[in-house]
Amino acid sequence: MNVITPIKILGVPVHPYTMNGAVEKIVERVSQKQKTLVVTANAEIIMMGQSDTEYMEILNKAALVLPDGAGTVWAGRKLGYEVPERVAGYDLFLNLMAEAAQKNFNVFFFGAAPGVAEEAKQKCETLYPGISIVGCRNGYFKDADNHSIVEEINNSGADLLFVALGAPKQEKWLAKYEDTLKPSLLMGIGGSFDVVAGKMERAPKWMQDASLEWLFRLYKQPSRFRRMLVLPKFVIKVLRFKSYKAS
């Protein structure tokens, strides 16, 4: 498969794959036992990198940073790059679960509240007959538990590790233990277990297509308002960068 050169959005390298292309690339790397840290980067994640040096370093070292979010797609196109489509983390997760069932990859779920990963596991076993989810571990832990968590994951024989701790915690945890973890795919997926388990509702398809998923999340979780304030800051920063680049 052809390698796609990443584009730069405010210092973050974003690989402008299509959904199908991203799935194909990840499956190829997992089949070859290549360690692959994947980040699905929306505007909020890119902005986190602006003020968090450690996180920016992780984003720059990740094997794949994919354009999750209308803001990332807009920014890439505004800066003159070709970004074919949004690669939403939740949809990528589901696509990879389907591939795992077909290719006999073992999967491990780590994160979310107690019991949620297990509920997501049961739902995925219904959705993807033959899927092998070899372990679940909730996201409530102390630093002293890290060694045992890594050991549990490694002993499970997992090929794909999905971590739902929220950004940037999930990527920082994965980067810290990347060299020690045995699964080939290491991917943070935010609240995806909650959505699969039915604990959190996803925006209707028409709102996803209209790039209004952020508005639905805000409606469902008004506490996200402060986090949403980063979006206009992101737009302004991208426009300023474009203006500076043009001059």
pLDDT digits (tens, 9 = 90+) for 179-193: 999 999 999 999 999
- Tens of pLDDT, residue by residue over 209-241, are 765 676 566 556 666 656 667 888 999 999 998
151-186 in b/e burial notation, b at 16+ Cβ within 10 A?
ebbbebebbbbbbbbebbebbbbbbebbeebbbbbb
Inside any domain, residue 225 = no
Inside any domain, residue 224 = no
Inside any domain, residue 220 = no
**Per-residue pLDDT, 224:** 62
Inside any domain, residue 18 = yes
Three-state secondary structure call for residue 131? coil
Question: What's the whole-model pTM score?
Answer: 0.93
**Per-residue pLDDT, 218:** 58
- pLDDT of 122 higher than 60: yes
Inside any domain, residue 26 = yes
**Per-residue pLDDT, 8:** 97
Inside any domain, residue 42 = yes
> Phi-psi category of 177—alpha, beta or left, where left has phi over 0 and alpha has psi -120 to 50?
alpha
Contact indicator for 120, 113 with CB cutoff of 8 Å: no
- Tens of pLDDT, residue by residue over 31-89, are 999 999 999 999 999 999 999 999 999 999 999 999 998 999 999 999 999 999 999 99
> Which among 171, 138, 168, 164 has a CA at the least distance from the CA of 152?
138
**Per-residue pLDDT, 141:** 97
Strand segments (E) across the chain: 7-9, 12-14, 36-41, 64-67, 106-111, 132-137, 160-164, 185-188
Inside any domain, residue 204 = no
Considering the chain, what percentage of its residues have pLDDT values greater than 90?
Answer: 81
Considering the chain, what percentage of its residues have pLDDT values greater than 70?
Answer: 89
pLDDT band at 204 (very low <50, low <70, confident <90, very high): confident
Task: Report the number of distinct structural domains present in the chain.
Answer: 1
Inside any domain, residue 230 = no
Average pLDDT of the chain is: 92
CATH number reported for the structural domain that contains residue 139 in this entry: 3.40.50
Residue-number span of the structural domain to which 177 is assigned:
7-196
